[in-house]
């Protein structure tokens, strides 16, 4: 059996046989030379092709909730702009509509490639799908889906899926989706969520190593893809899928209620978002706010750092999506696995090198100063908070807090409107966890947020990307929980709020432990909001502290911890996933 980690595009559990699907790109069949004599006829063909495409989108909108139709409006606008420019090519060069569309696509595709941004690459995929669909309408091409294989009950695996093909697959009864590329805000993801189809994005999957009919399990609750699992594992997941389906309605309803424990303790359920599109979608998913807004995409999309104005615009927009709900904006966590084209770092071990707050302080003029100015200016638009990444020394917090104050004073002296921001630190290293009592002596510190991915990695000295040791990586390891208990206890004693923004926050088996530690808020992937709120609403914080936490802290292995929590949840009537 092989196990891959992936990104949840649509939550759920699916078990089935694999069917590989290859995208048919109509642009590849367009000739390189196609002169025409009747330009008006070609223009009318383009207009008709656009009209047919818009009719398709109108039909698609009827299958989606109102909150998710904005992206399709953007698709329409993109298609209209593409065809408008293609018409100019037809008129000026006397070429056929298909070639004109391809020329426009290639022009913008090259610009997208040069940007180097993952988000913009996703938009490039949208543009290609639109261009291909319009060429299909022009030439009346209709690529087949699934060949001669019956799609009913199958899991479709592909490099990517465009919305047109996915809708055909949905109508044929597919059970789940796996792709190598895509995003949680792509049209394919929206369609999958609207139809309740589990969908996971696994960039590391090797399509050439898959065979037609391989058995697969999609677990897009735990963010896993299992290939050719044992009968026992399959049986477990079949049962799990049935449980999930029966509880899905309860999760959906819970997502839009407050998360309150049975003994009356309110717990915030916030969302982790990686760009503006994810933030927009999350704002209508039941999130109580944003617990982690990753801004790195703004820094990795060009050959120079983003300007103060572009940062200000992005921060103002995300704050606008959430009105007065809190939005925690993490200072750019750059370095290590997020290299920058404009900063050369020659390091033998970048994960222990110049990253996070260390890099920000090293490049305070080029990166930190514009970020702080933009954030303080944007904070007038909503409830903004600042989160400092990869802290390991108290002096780093003191220095950042002083820079925030000086930046605020400078903006005031310039007559520029700005607001205040609460400051928090990410607890991602054992050093930070063990010194929380000292961090809380810095008066500007208002909250801590556990970054459990890195905290687990550094505590266990495990590179979770290394398959030879990744089995050791486990967020429920007692050593990790003990560190969190020390840090959370010191923070709570001194009135500092405690949040968790790592993947652990969305794990059903971890939630009872986090509540027992006194966590005030969990920040999860938007698809997991309902699961988190549902679980919280069934638990008593007082009982967790008394009956579960002490036993977990005294455990000797993550397996023991997991079994303790599982039995506890089953004892209070919660279905465990």
Report helix, strand or coil for 40: helix
Please give the backbone phi and psi of residue 200, each rounded to the nearest 5 degrees, phi first: -130, 140
CA dihedral 245, 246, 248, 251 (to 10 degrees): -150
CA atoms within 13 A on the CB side of 366: 11
Cβ–Cβ < 8 Å for 68, 62: no
Beta bridge partners of 427: 450
Q: Which residue has the tokens 């939630």?
A: 511
Question: Can you tell me the distance from the alpha carbon of 132 to that of 51, in angstroms, rounded to the nearest whole number?
Answer: 15
- Annotate 532-551 with b (16+ C-beta within 10 A) or e (fewer): bbbbbbebbbebbeebbbee
Report helix, strand or coil for 319: helix
Q: Token pair of 541, please?
A: 């914080």
Alpha carbon of 52 to those of 242, 263, 385, 528: distances in Å?
A: 39, 56, 46, 36
Strands 445-450 and 383-388: unpaired
Q: How many CB atoms lie within 10 A of CB 364?
A: 15
Q: How many CB atoms lie within 10 A of CB 555?
A: 18
Closest CA to 194 of 71, 19, 25, 317: 71
Q: How many CB atoms lie within 10 A of CB 255?
A: 21
Question: Can you tell me the distance from the alpha carbon of 577 to that of 569, in angstroms, rounded to the nearest whole number?
Answer: 10
Q: Token pair of 38, please?
A: 């009747």
Q: Which residue has the tokens 């190598």?
A: 180
Cβ–Cβ < 8 Å for 371, 331: yes
Cβ–Cβ < 8 Å for 450, 491: no
**Is 75 a residue of the active site?**
no
Cβ–Cβ < 8 Å for 509, 476: yes
Choosing from 75, 187, 271, 287, which is the catalytic residue?
187
Our CA angle for 174, 180, 185, nearest 5°, is: 80
**Is 287 a residue of the active site?**
no
Enumerate the active-site residues: 187, 501
């Amino acid at each position: 059996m092989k196990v891959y980690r992936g990104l949840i595009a649509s939550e759920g559990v699916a078990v089935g046989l694999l069917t590989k699907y290859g995208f048919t790109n109509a642009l590849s069949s367009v000739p390189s030379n196609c002169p025409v004599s009747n330009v008006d006829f070609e223009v009318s063909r383009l207009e008709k092709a656009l009209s047919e495409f818009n009719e398709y989108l109108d039909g698609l909108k009827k299958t989606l909730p109102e909150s998710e139709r904005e992206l399709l409006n953007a698709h329409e606008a993109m298609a209209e702009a593409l065809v408008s420019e293609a018409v100019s090519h037809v008129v000026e060069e006397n070429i056929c509509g298909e070639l004109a569309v391809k020329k426009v696509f290639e022009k913008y595709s090259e610009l997208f490639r040069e940007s180097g941004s993952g988000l913009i690459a996703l938009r490039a995929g949208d543009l290609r799908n639109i261009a291909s669909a319009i060429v299909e309408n022009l030439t009346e091409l209709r690529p087949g889906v699934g060949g001669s294989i019956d799609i009913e009950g199958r899991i479709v695996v592909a490099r990517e899926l465009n919305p047109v093909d996915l809708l055909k697959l949905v109508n044929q009864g597919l059970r789940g989706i796996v792709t190598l590329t895509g995003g949680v805000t792509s049209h394919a993801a929206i369609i999958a969520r609207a139809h309740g189809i589990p969908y996971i994005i696994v960039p590391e999957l090797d399509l050439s190593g898959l065979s037609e009919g391989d058995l697969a399990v999609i677990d897009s609750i735990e963010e896993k893809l299992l290939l050719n699992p044992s009968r026992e594992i399959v049986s477990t997941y079949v049962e799990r899928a049935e449980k999930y389906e029966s509880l899905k309605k309860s999760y959906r309803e819970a997502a839009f209620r407050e998360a309150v424990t049975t003994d009356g303790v309110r717990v915030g359920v916030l969302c982790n978002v990686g760009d503006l599109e994810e933030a927009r979608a999350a704002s209508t998913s039941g999130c109580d706010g944003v617990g982690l807004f990753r801004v790195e995409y703004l820094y990795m999309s060009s050959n120079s750092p983003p300007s103060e104005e572009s940062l200000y615009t992005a921060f103002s927009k995300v704050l606008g999506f959430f009105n007065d709900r809190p939005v925690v904006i993490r200072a750019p966590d750059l370095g290590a696995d997020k290299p920058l084209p404009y900063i050369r770092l020659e390091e033998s071990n970048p994960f222990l090198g110049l990253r996070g707050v260390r890099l920000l302080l090293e490049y305070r003029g080029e990166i930190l100063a514009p970020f702080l100015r933009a954030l303080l200016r944007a904070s007038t638009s909503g409830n903004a908070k600042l989160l400092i990444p990869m802290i390991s020394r108290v002096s780093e917090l003191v220095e950042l807090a002083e820079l925030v104050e000086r930046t605020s004073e400078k903006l005031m002296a310039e007559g520029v409107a700005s607001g205040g921001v609460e400051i928090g630190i990410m607890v991602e290293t054992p050093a930070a966890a063990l010194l929380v009592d000292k961090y809380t002596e810095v008066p500007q510190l208002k909250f801590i947020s556990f970054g459990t991915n890195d905290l687990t990695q550094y505590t266990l000295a495990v590179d979770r990307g290394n398959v030879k040791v990744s089995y050791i990586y486990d967020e429920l390891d007692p050593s990790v929980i003990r560190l969190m208990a020390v840090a959370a206890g010191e923070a709570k004693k001194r009135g500092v709020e405690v949040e968790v923004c790592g993947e652990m926050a969305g794990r059903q088996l971890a939630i009872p432990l986090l509540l027992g530690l006194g966590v005030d808020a969990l920040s999860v992937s938007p698809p997991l909001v309902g699961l988190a709120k549902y679980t919280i609403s069934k638990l008593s914080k007082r009982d967790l502290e008394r009956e579960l936490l002490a036993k977990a802290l005294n455990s000797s292995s993550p397996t023991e911890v997991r079994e303790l929590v599982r039995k506890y949840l089953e004892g209070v009537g919660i279905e465990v996933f």
